[in-house]
Amino acid sequence: MHHPTTTRYQEDADADGWAETRVSAMRVELQAWRSQEQRLHVALRSEAALCQALREHVNLEEAARCRAQEEAVSERRSEEVVAQRSQQVRSAVARARQGTEKLAELMGVLRQAQSLAPSLQEEVEKLELEERQAQVSKWWAEKRWQDAARDLKLLEDQRQEVWLEEKETQLRMEEFSEQLTACQDKSVEMCRKQMQMRLELDEEHRQTRRLQRFRTPRDERMQETLLRHKSYAFALAANDGAPPG
């Protein structure tokens, strides 16, 4: 049978040993937790790095996709531009072909015109000659018409002059008849002289009227002076040499 004190000491020693063992175990467990925590931190950092890498990869893929879309759009635009340019080139070629055909047609017309040029020149010269002849004929026709109008005016003036002369002759005949009656008491020579001067004066009047259109003012003054002298001489003869009253 053990001593109570010894038993208590033993129990205390056992308790202390268990406590130490427990503390050691807890220390080991704490160390394990710390190690696990470190591993978790490392894992978290790895996960974060992986997530960052994934994000970068996703960003790269998105950028590549955007670039691919842009390249596709650019390629489609390039294709559209190429198609448009091709259409423009085809249109230009078609217009050039039409222009070539039109040029060939115009060259044919030009050659035809060149072949017809001599005959056309002759025809033009002929037409110009006919035009000049027509102008000359027109000028001569106008001149003949003017001459005819002038001749008609002259004939009308002459007819008027003839009528006036006939009227004046009739008046003169009446005057001569009166003068013959008055000359019965005078000498025959005096009557003959008076009648001769009267006839000359009448003829001078007629010549004056006929040349009225062609005389200058100086000619008219000279003619008037001459007529006054002849009239004065006729009056002297009529009054037997006495000045007229």
pLDDT of residue 14: 66
Higher pLDDT, residue 169 or 125: 125
User: Nearest CA to 223 among 210, 204, 206?
Assistant: 204
Which range among 47-56, 136-145, 154-163, 180-189 shows the weakest confidence by mean pLDDT? 180-189
pLDDT of residue 245: 47
Residue 198 has pLDDT above 80, yes or no: no
Mean of pLDDT over the chain: 76
Higher pLDDT, residue 186 or 32: 32
pLDDT of residue 235: 58
CB-based burial, 130-156: b 16+ in 10 Å, e otherwise: eeeeeeeeeeeeeeeeeeeeeeeeeee
pLDDT of residue 2: 47
List, for residues 74-122, the tens digit of each pLDDT value.
888 878 888 888 888 888 888 888 888 888 888 888 888 778 778 778 8
- CA triple 215-218-224, angle to 5 deg: 85
Q: Which two tokens stand for residue 129?
A: 């000659």
pLDDT of residue 243: 46
Measured in residues, the chain has a length of 245
pLDDT of residue 242: 46
